[in-house]
A and B are shown apart, each in its own frame.
Chain A
């Protein structure tokens, strides 16, 4: 085994020497092309690049790479081209060996302009089409699709014939279609076929290519191009709708997460908790502390940091909620406006407290590996953190719904929501339920903070950004009904994202606020209002 390895290496070295030797002995297309670099003329350089790319010489790759990176120089006097290696050595481009003697004094870097850069990129594309890494081949095919350099066509055909990877093969077919379509001498049938291939690609680049065709096409091609353009546009429109819906869903789930705790406390107790945003902030800071702890003690656990932070955040924010209820809110029942002011004051205290402890700057909370990155789904890109937040919100919502429906505490909470006096008469300790409800709402806000720490800046003002939006969700969805909150959050999230493209982010938001102000006129108690006597209290 060892011996055969050595033999192969020896063979390769021998081959390399042979090629180099042949290069020295006979001036091949590669060596001829090199002369084109020494004239300091852009069109000569372009021709030289194309000739070198087509030469098939093993030196072509490093040479063009050097040109792309500005490491290729020439000497007009000696008619020689030099490659400067990354560590500063000077190679003779014709042989690939270190240049003999001192560097000539008129050595000068070969200049590139924008057109030339396109030519070079295309050449690189052509050369890397045969690379062993499928991802590099794919990128090369995409580069060819964009450059549409006709010179690459032979290389592309060769690569296409050898290609086995389906994804790369598709990209190469598309690249080939792009070249065929833009080449002037292709037949009408070839062009129409190419249009079909590009139409199936269906993205913005494809649309640009087809719409950018010169006007003097044969009728049949022109017609096919028009049809394809329409088809691509409708595909793109569908994908952009899907994209908006996805973003809206993502925003909606964030809103839902932030608002759902508020909906519970407001629904059950009629209490407006202005410090709700600060409970979210506390949750986010809990995540920060957990991650800091893991970083210093056991970095291997980092991927589990969120799993640890979620129950902790629930406990920390939840117990803060119980304490707040016991010390402040319970003295203010029946005075909702005063509660509002007191909790606002509390939010100021909590913000300033966190600012004093952790400092006013943003804290760095990292994404675990399973939450970073993205994948493509059809025409849209989905980031893992957004996706997991949607999933997580769904889980929290279902868990909460189940808790309210099937547990003793849930039953008692619903009883207190519907009729406090009657619930008390039936032996439910309403004061205890109030404290637990407030704790539950705050705890869920804490969990929301864990999720938000993954997509937002963790700073003392984190909660402030969500409080008004959360109120809008609760007011819009109606009080005392989780489904109302769900529908409210998703509606507002999606509406926001659909308004953004043509109204801008800020105007879109203003439009939503105005809409809610008007909506509340029509249905003062929200979409899913409680009916019956509870309304008038």
Chain B
């Protein structure tokens, strides 16, 4: 039995962290230190774009943790992402202070516009970053805990679970669209000025947010690695592959699933919170069921159950989306995305990283087979 740290940081994971670190250093350097005329200069537009991708990567990572390792396909993870985003958005709204259009010292612009008499109770405390940061994790976490507690205890599994998670995010979508919910209705929260005293529009803040996002992704990646390489992770895989059998062996399946589902929701919330200051807006469309399903396809493209693949998939698909939706090919993007869903599930069910692992495993197997009396290689 190797040391847990060594198991956690296998070759792929180390490579991923090194690349992520290099990325987090290179982009700000190329943006801030290299002069704009240079061929190596990275424009601020790309800094914000990559920051967004990193947040998507974190969302994909959280989905991979539950889907790839515990077999829970959540079609409502966008809801946790958006809730985290709203918590951060509320903090950013409070930071606007009197600089809004109506310059009201207490109420955000949209509340003045809608004639709210006073600040609703659930907005209290969002003036403080620490409180908002707590809510970023707590709100999605509590929702996931309550939802998961009900769902897993009554053994709602498979497609049924997928459908009710979709219903969950759909219900939230309808709710947040309402003006009297107190979250800006249709327009959501926007027009942010500063975060922790730094102007969100300037280059340095954007670069800092990118670096922080990379750090968050690295940290969450390590947590996920620690979980999936531990005994706990083995039980999760057992649940994924044969839930009833695991239960008969005496494991509290519900407790395992609930823990990992809640953790994953918290991560999605963090991703959302980092996403909002970088794109400058959060509105109810983030709750749209389509968004959550799209996030699942990132995981599928990159490789389900590989963690690295989820992040890679988020990058590849979103880069393709940015690339194609901005050119003359824009009307065909949905064909491509749809084709990607079908193609990945039909032709490459293991995803990019999964296919690579599989190919490598096959090759070593062949090599091992050439050596007589070699120990049989563990099946994947």
Contacts and interface: CB of A to CB of B under 8 A. Distances in A.
Interface string B333-349: 01101111110111001
By secondary structure, the A interface counts as helix
Contacts of B26: none
23 contacts: A270-B159, A331-B346, A332-B345, A335-B345, A336-B158, A338-B345, A340-B162, A342-B341, A342-B346, A349-B335, A349-B342, A350-B338, A352-B331, A352-B332, A468-B166, A475-B163, A506-B174, A506-B177, A506-B178, A513-B171, A513-B174, A522-B154, A524-B154
A352 B334 contact: yes
Contacts of A356: 331
A344 interface: yes
A82 to B, nearest CB: 50
Contacts of A521: 150-151, 153-154, 156
A353 B297 CA distance: 21
B339 A349 contact: yes
Contacts of B342: 328, 342, 345-346, 349
Contacts of B168: 513, 517
A348 B334 contact: yes
Given A337-B158, A513-B167, A521-B151, 20 more contacts: A270-B159, A272-B162, A328-B342, A340-B159, A341-B300, A345-B337, A345-B341, A346-B338, A349-B334, A356-B331, A506-B178, A510-B174, A510-B175, A516-B167, A517-B164, A517-B167, A521-B154, A521-B156, A524-B156, A536-B244
Interface of A: 270, 272, 328, 331-332, 335-342, 344-353, 356, 468, 471-472, 475, 506-507, 509-510, 513-514, 516-518, 520-522, 524-525, 536
B170 interface: yes
Contacts of A272: 159, 162-163
B296 interface: yes
A263 to B, nearest CB: 13
Contacts of B293: 341, 344
A445 B167 CA distance: 21
A201 to B, nearest CB: 38
B186 to A, nearest CB: 12
Nearest to A338: B345
Contacts of A331: 346
Which of A331, A468, A507 neighbours the largest number of chain B CB atoms within 10 Å of its CB? A468
Contacts of A350: 338
B155 interface: yes
A509 to B, nearest CB: 6
A348 B150 contact: no
Nearest to B157: A524
A341 B293 CA distance: 8
Interface string B133-174: 000000000000001001101111011101110111011001
Contacts, number: 124
A13 to B, nearest CB: 67
A340 B341 CA distance: 10
B289 interface: yes
A536 B335 CA distance: 37
B341 A341 contact: yes
Contact of A346 (B73, B164, B174, B341): B341
A513 B334 contact: no
B170 A513 contact: yes
A265 B67 CA distance: 24
Contacts of B153: 521
B345 A341 contact: yes
Given A471-B166, A510-B175, A336 B159 contact: yes
Nearest to A512: B171
A471 B161 CA distance: 12
Contacts of A351: 334
Contacts of A349: 334-335, 338-339, 342
A70 B149 CA distance: 70
B76 to A, nearest CB: 10
B73 A337 contact: yes
By secondary structure, the B interface counts as helix
B248 to A, nearest CB: 12
A337 to B, nearest CB: 5
B338 A352 contact: yes
Contacts of B175: 506, 510
B336 to A, nearest CB: 9
A524 B156 CA distance: 6
Which 5 pairs between the two chains have the least Cβ-Cβ distance? A345-B341, A348-B338, A349-B338, A352-B334, A513-B171
Contacts of B164: 475, 516-517, 520
Contacts of A347: 338
Contacts of B332: 352
Contact of B159 (A337, A507, A536): A337
Nearest to A523: B154
Contacts of A509: 171, 174
A339 B342 CA distance: 9
Nearest to A332: B345
Contacts of A507: 178
Contacts of B300: 338, 341
Nearest to A536: B244
Contacts of B162: 272, 337, 340
Which of A337, A349, A352, A524 neighbours the largest number of chain B CB atoms within 10 Å of its CB? A337
A520 B174 contact: no
Given A348-B334, A348-B338, A520-B164, A342 B345 contact: yes
Contacts of B339: 345, 349
Interface in B318-336: 331-332, 334-335
B285 to A, nearest CB: 14
A27 B168 CA distance: 80
A332 B343 CA distance: 12
Which of A270, A272, A339, A342 neighbours the largest number of chain B CB atoms within 10 Å of its CB? A342
A468 B335 contact: no
A347 B151 CA distance: 28
B162 to A, nearest CB: 6
Contacts of A510: 171, 174-175
Nearest to A504: B178
Nearest to A350: B338
Contacts of A514: 171
A349 B341 CA distance: 10
A346 B158 CA distance: 21
Contacts of B345: 332, 335, 338-339, 341-342, 345
B210 to A, nearest CB: 30
Contacts of B296: 341
A352 B335 contact: yes
A33 B329 CA distance: 77
A346 B342 CA distance: 7
A340 B73 contact: yes
Which of A332, A335, A340 neighbours the largest number of chain B CB atoms within 10 Å of its CB? A340
Contacts of A348: 334-335, 337-338, 341
Contacts of B171: 509-510, 513-514, 517
Contacts of A525: 160
A507 to B, nearest CB: 8
A485 to B, nearest CB: 15
A338 B178 contact: no
A345 B349 contact: no
Contacts of A352: 331-332, 334-335, 338
Contact of B170 (A336, A468, A518, A536): A468
A536 B178 CA distance: 41
B82 to A, nearest CB: 16
A332 B162 CA distance: 17
Contacts of B156: 520-521, 524
